[in-house]
Amino acid sequence: MKKNLFFMMLLLPAMAMQSYAQTRKADPALLRKADETLQFAARQYKLMMTHVPDSVLPRTTNTKNGSLVTSKSNWWTSGFYPGTTWYLYEYTKDPAFKAEAIKRMELVKKEQYNTHTHDLGFMMYCPFGNALRITGDTAYQSILLTSARSLVTRFNPTVGCIKSWDHGTWKFPVIIDNMMNLELLTWATRVSGDKQFEKIARTHANTTMKNHFRPDYSSYHVIDYDPATGAVLAKKTHQGAADSSAWSRGQAWGLYGYTLMYRDTKDKAYLQQARHIADYILNNPNMPADLIPYWDFNAPGIPNALRDVSAAAVTASALLELSRYTKNADGKRYWAAAEKMLTNLCSPAYLAKEGENNDFILMHSVGSLPHDSEVDVPLTYADYYFVEALMRYKEWTK
């Protein structure tokens, strides 16, 4: 398969976007911790490789009996394990990680044709985007373009959004999480020259900005639209504590999503939105002192509510990037908050012990508390965004 430097450049990952970004100073203690933790993560994932059956992907831990829970490729988290494995290959240069990533991507590859999910950004861009960035192998590019074409089949121009779910009694549900899948589309325009992908991404981001956010810049989880008229039918939650609450991972998806939309379009409205979301999160009176959020900013029982480490990992990675696009004291504030989150995630309160936690890196995430699903467990995407954030920290303080 051909290597093509030109397309590597077109990929324009966040790490390459250094030219207009602020440089930041490293905290030497955190830099040391990041290395120790990445080395630990590599050892932990070496164990995981030997424990996960060949035909599936690791997902979480069973809360009843502590066993490993895996998924098939069509589950929304299927791309995170090979994605993390690529980061660990990039860090260690150990060919075993590359081989493992390629092996697991073979399972996920067929999802490029899946038009029944909005999660193709998560499922495909995390593994295949990193594979393309790291190896330059253009075979990954056609898989990603097919994935982008599948994703845009879910766009309704009357609503101005990509439909999130096909299940439930919703008419046309759109969840804040969907902002994360737009990265695949902005990438597809850069590579193919077809402006339609980015236009759809921008339209989705603009519609979401209009309808998903409250005046304080917290976001609803689900907006249900009338697909015939585009009217908003309902503003609800699915995984949060209440329709009116701020589900923590949802806030994190919004923050990361608008940051990446600014990175890829340079539209200041997206930067402004990301900053508003960051300020909502960081100024929230219910944010704990260690900056690892409760599973919902309005969870019942605070301060005894469960934390969601996955929300912290996504938020930390996004804040590092947002900081680079934000001048002066605010930029430093975002950077310092991300440093504090990462320092605490690297502590024994959240980081697993070697050989424990079903070989996942982080403990104490919450998938969906209202459904009593994945409560206080490791989650494959908490690991992905944590490892990404540690890699970003090392890269952006060079």
Does 383 sit near ligand GLY (CB under 6 A)?
Answer: no
* Residue 258 and residue 205 in contact, taking contact as beta carbons nearer than 8 Å: yes
- Smallest separation, CB 117 to ligand GLY (Å): 10
Nearer to ligand GLY, 77 or 265 (CB): 77
Contact between 202 and ligand GLY (CB under 6 A)? no
Q: At what angle do helices 268-282 and 309-324 cross, to 10 degrees?
A: 130
Q: Which residues contact 148 (CB under 8 A, 6 or more apart)?
A: 120, 184, 185, 187, 188, 197
Please, which of residues 334-373 interact with ligand GLY by CB under 6 A?
Answer: 367
Assess 59 for contact with ligand GLY (CB under 6 A): no
Q: Which residues have a Cβ under 8 Å from the Cβ of 141 and sit 6 or more positions away? A: 7, 132, 191
Does 279 participate in catalysis according to the annotation?
Answer: no
The span from the CA of 282 to the CA of 385, in Å, is: 19
Q: Hey, is 280 helix, strand or coil? A: helix
To which H or E segment does residue 248 belong? Answer: helix 248-265
**Smallest distance, ligand GLY to C-beta of residue 76, A:** 6
- Nearest residue to ligand GLY, scored by beta-carbon proximity: 177
Name the minimum Å distance from CB 239 to ligand GLY: 6
Q: How far is the C-alpha of 144 from the C-alpha of 191, rounded, in Å? A: 10
Spatial distance between the Cα atoms of 321 and 264, rounded to a whole number of angstroms: 12
Helix (H) or strand (E) holding 173: strand 173-175
Q: Which is nearer to ligand GLY, 176 or 387 (CB)?
A: 176
Rule CB under 6 A: say whether 177 interacts with ligand GLY: yes
Q: Which of 24, 249, 275, 276 binds ligand GLY (CB under 6 A)?
A: 249
Under the binding rule (CB under 6 A), the answer on residue 212 touching ligand GLY is: no
**Which residue, 217 or 381, has its beta carbon nearer to ligand GLY?**
381
Is 226 among the residues known to form the active site? no
Which residue numbers are catalytic?
119, 177
Binding interface with ligand GLY (CB under 6 A):
76, 177, 239, 249, 367
